[in-house]
Amino acid sequence: MQLKHFMPVRVLMGPDIIRQQAPLLAPLGTTALIVTGRSSARASGALADIIAALDSQGIRHILFDQVEANPRLATVRQAAQLARQEKAGFVVGIGGGSPLDAAKAVALLAVNDLDDSAIFTGPWPGGALKLVAVPTTAGTGSEVTQYAILTNDALQTKTSIAWDGLFPAIAFLDSRYTHSCPLNTTINTALDALSHAVEGFLSNKSDPWSRSEALEAIRLLGKNLQTLARLPAGELPGPDTRAELLFAANLAGVVISQTGSTMVHAMGYPLTYSHGVDHGRANALLLPDYLDFIARQHPGAVQTVLDAFGACQSPDLHGPASPALAFRQLLDRLLGPRERLSPEEITQFARTAIQARNIANTLVVPTLQDLQALYAASLG
């Protein structure tokens, strides 16, 4: 048996965890740059808790609160400039995956002069500032990964920076910060986490450790996505569902930190770049047909995923015959009407997706024709 597990993040989860663990911030530096989106860091209560914790340790802070969804290079360059001006010693990212990934890129650009392509490829000789990550969505798991995904206009897609220097030092998880997430964001981010766990389980980089983490994440996500699908109109999930979703998303993040993501993420990025489809939704639109594609060569592995997900066990979702159909039906119910692509878009998106590095992690490495067929099956 072979294991290669490296996860250097101190993960702390619980109500009020930031204020309780504030002394952990003291060794990180005397000035912090806080990086957030425009409103949710405030709305969730996370920003106030971080500022109180920094104040309690005598740490000065500066705030950059202009990160957009799917962060752009210009935005992270602006924040990195602020970090340099103010001599920030570390960066605190608060938000969904977009502000967390932006914070990672800022930590890199604050100590490296890099042109637009070198940001993605490295080397990054200056290292990176230390990072603290506070997720306010239960989805990306960015708080425990070494990836920062940025909009890449040169390639008309999204591209990831992947480097061990980007693992945060500390991740503070308090599921109360996700309570303000509207239902569609809650669903889309949970589907992103599901995609991480499923792709990680079916990655050719998986090992017994990451596969066991992936199956537990799939089980928890299956259970809680069924809860989300059954919510009466206008209702939001309760605190227990929120906490399980945050833990499951974190666990799925640990999985992809070991296995990388695969063809689903590679194919989702052009959908987000060109059609503005939310990241988790873009992945989930492709997931059922991707499972069919992998099952042609690895039926047992896909069956294990579907068994862990357990959609067939939900009595009020009209018990269809096969687990694959139950999975598809649950996702259809959560996603609603699908976006559609023209034949020209399918050709163009497949050409873009095949160039992504994570394609190579897929258990069955797809050809260009495979990608076109999968886009057509899911969105044609």
The listed partner (Fe ion, ligand NAP, none) that binds 158, CB under 5 to 8 Å by sort, is ligand NAP
Residue 178 touching ligand NAP (CB under 6 A) = yes
The listed partner (Fe ion, ligand NAP, none) that binds 149, CB under 5 to 8 Å by sort, is ligand NAP
Residues 20-24: contacts with CB within 8 Å, 24+ apart?
21/53, 21/170, 21/172, 22/52, 22/53, 22/54, 22/56, 22/57, 23/57, 24/170
Burial class of 133 by CB neighbour count within 10 A (0 to 12, 13 to 18, 19+):
buried
- Chain-centroid distance of CA 327 in Å reads 21
- Binding residues among 262-281 for ligand NAP as defined by CB under 6 A: 279-280
Tell me the closest approach of the beta carbon of residue 306 to Fe ion, in angstroms. Answer: 20
Binding mask 143-182 for Fe ion (x = CB under 5 A): ----------------------------------------
Structure tokens belonging to residue 313 = 């066990």
Residue 210 touching ligand NAP (CB under 6 A) = no
CB 143, CB 253: distance < 8 Å: yes
Cα 28 from Cα 265, distance rounded (Å)? 33
Q: Which is nearer to ligand NAP, 111 or 236 (CB)?
A: 236
Q: Which is nearer to ligand NAP, 250 or 372 (CB)?
A: 250
Q: Which is nearer to ligand NAP, 99 or 237 (CB)?
A: 99
Cα 8 from Cα 222, distance rounded (Å)? 28
Tell me the closest approach of the beta carbon of residue 188 to ligand NAP, in angstroms. Answer: 6
CB 312, CB 325: distance < 8 Å: no
Binding mask 147-166 for ligand NAP (x = CB under 6 A): xxx--------x--------
> Exactly one of 101, 174, 199, 213 binds ligand NAP (CB under 6 A); which one?
101
Strand partners, 157: 152
Structure tokens belonging to residue 183 = 């239902």
Tell me the closest approach of the beta carbon of residue 58 to ligand NAP, in angstroms. Answer: 28
Cα 146 from Cα 163, distance rounded (Å)? 5
Cα 221 from Cα 219, distance rounded (Å)? 6
Residues at the interface with Fe ion (CB under 5 A) = 192
Point out which residues bind ligand NAP (CB under 6 A): 37-40, 43-44, 69-70, 95-99, 101, 136-137, 139-142, 145, 147-149, 158, 177-178, 180-181, 185, 189, 192, 279-280
